[in-house]
Chains A and B, each alone.
Chain A
Amino acid sequence: MSSVPNLLIGLSCPGCGGAVDVTEGSRLAFCPYCGSALAIIADDAGVARLMYKMDVTETEAESAARKWFGAFPKARDLAATAVITEIFPMYLPFWSMVGTGKGIACGYSTHTNKDGHTQTTYHEDSSDAEYLWSVIACQTGDLGIVTPPELNGRLLPYTEGDIPVFETTSSRDEAYDQADTDIRMEAHRRAASGIETLTFSKTFCIPREFSLLYYPYWIIRYQYRERDYFVVLDGVSGSPVSGRAPGDQTYQALAAGLGAGFGGLFAGLGIAYAMFSDSEYALAGLSGLVIGLILVLAGYWMFRFGSEVTEGKLTGGISFSMKGFGQKTVREIER
């Protein structure tokens, strides 16, 4: 589940000039000073463009990167010897929709009893919940950012040219249609859960807010032993979201040795136990064999690919980070 962040943007009242805060995606606001009711009219494409405030300074970003350099299983001398060649802020665009998804599903399921009779169970069900949908709106090349962050922080109106941004590569209509489809599919998935054959279904997506949000990152490029690497940090929280770093040959050798040693030991003991124990305990021996094989494979994986360590959704190298995995495009809102 996801919670709706307290999204606020600062605009000026045309009557008194006072600062007006409105919730993201809202088309209506009021001035807390003169009380005027105000209509918020989005840009030509009919979409509100907003940006999150960069909370992490360049110094903090460099410090966070050096902390990341020192984390296992990267090269042990990386933090001391890496040379940062470039550090710059970048804003990536994300499409975002908050909307209610409703679904109705009817159908039946069949199953065969022990006596061979087929039994049919009829179903009718519904789902009704509010969702947050968000997807990246640009191509990030080799940066490996494909999933949206947990959108946090303070929102500001976006003014073209004020900040460095990745160009939006998907259209507003495409994104809107995709959000509508994804929210409907989630509503349908919940309503139709457990129904084998559908005979009637209907879904609704009722959008409340639709925006293009620019989220800040720090991109840090560095060199280690004359090879180029990079790390991308979240500009609000300062945590690493993707990156490449050199691995450590000692860790690789240790992993291969320990994996083969302990793996062989477990496998051997497992086989012996399976062969010489009572048949009802043979399964325990087989599980020892499986654990042994997993240890051998894990050791080989670390040895084979451990020359590079990756963070986020990047190909190659080894990664112990689960960031971005399992993160859904559509998340239910909890308040």
Chain B
Amino acid sequence: MAMIVKNLKCSSCGAPLKAKEADLILFCTSCGKTMEFKDSDVGEVSPHILAPVREDKDLIYLPFWGIDADVVVMHEDTVGGFLRITKKPMRGACRFYVCAADLLPRKTAGWNLEFTRNFPKATEIPDFRGILHMPAVKSSRTAEKDAEFLFLKHEIDLSGTLQELEYTFSILGHELYYIPFLRRGDDLRPAV
């Protein structure tokens, strides 16, 4: 046996799922539910679609996973940097935002950190209002590792030079977000 192709069906109503491109997030045209593709099957997920600050023909939605995790730091040693006013350490229940679109890390790393530190306060809307959205290629399970890396990246970005760290990072759950971006050529900027 080499490779098998299987039709995917909505886990809520059983209707065949349709897609226009390979997207880990599938929208059931029959019952309107949103499905996340996992391994060889689908599970329901509720998307949060943020409203853009203003209408523009170049708007596009990018998928992000909001990964909830419990961060416990047992030991930390930092050299210098006693003032931590602008950036505070992440401890306890935290949410990390990870871009799920097919873009290179050097493009998404800044948005992931920015949204994790300061998620935009925007109104949620029920649908995309005709605005295109990028397919998700990163699963929520994969995004969990990105979330742990985000925590560490935030730690070394704090004031002082990190030298030692003992911690636990426990995943609590995940949410799906669609955030509007303004696309000008290859450049993408958040529009929230």
Contacts and interface: CB of A to CB of B under 8 A. Distances in A.
B7 A126 contact: no
A36 B163 CA distance: 52
Contacts of B149: 102, 104, 128, 204
Contacts of A87: none
B44 interface: no
Interface string A107-141: 11000000000000011111011100000000000
Nearest to B144: A206
Contacts of B21: 30
A264 interface: no
A70 interface: no
A128 B23 CA distance: 24
B17 A36 contact: yes
Interface in B83-139: 104-106, 109, 137
B71 to A, nearest CB: 14
Contacts of A335: 104
- Chain B residues touching A, majority SS: mixed
Contacts of A199: 77, 163-164
Nearest to A101: B105
B153 interface: yes
Interface in B141-173: 142, 145-146, 148-149, 152-153, 156, 161-165
B3 A200 contact: no
A168 interface: no
A27 B164 contact: no
Given A23-B22, A125-B156, A129-B106, A200 B2 contact: no
A12 B5 CA distance: 8
B152 A44 contact: no
A331 to B, nearest CB: 14
A39 B2 contact: no
B104 A38 contact: no
A124 B3 contact: no
Interface stretch (B35-43, B50-58, B174-182): B35-43
A204 B106 contact: no
A5 interface: no
A11 B3 contact: yes
B187 to A, nearest CB: 15
Contact of A39 (B5, B20, B156): B5
Interface residues of A, number: 51
A74 interface: no
Interface in A35-56: 35-44, 48-49
A51 to B, nearest CB: 10
A86 interface: no
Contacts of A23: 22
A29 B8 contact: no
A314 interface: no
A159 interface: yes
Contacts of A22: 22
Contact of A14 (B5, B20, B41): B5
A18 to B, nearest CB: 11
A13 interface: yes
A37 to B, nearest CB: 4
Given A35-B20, A37-B8, 14 more contacts: A14-B7, A20-B5, A35-B19, A36-B19, A37-B7, A40-B3, A40-B4, A40-B5, A104-B152, A106-B164, A126-B152, A128-B106, A128-B153, A204-B149
7 contacts: A28-B37, A36-B7, A36-B19, A49-B3, A104-B149, A104-B156, A124-B161
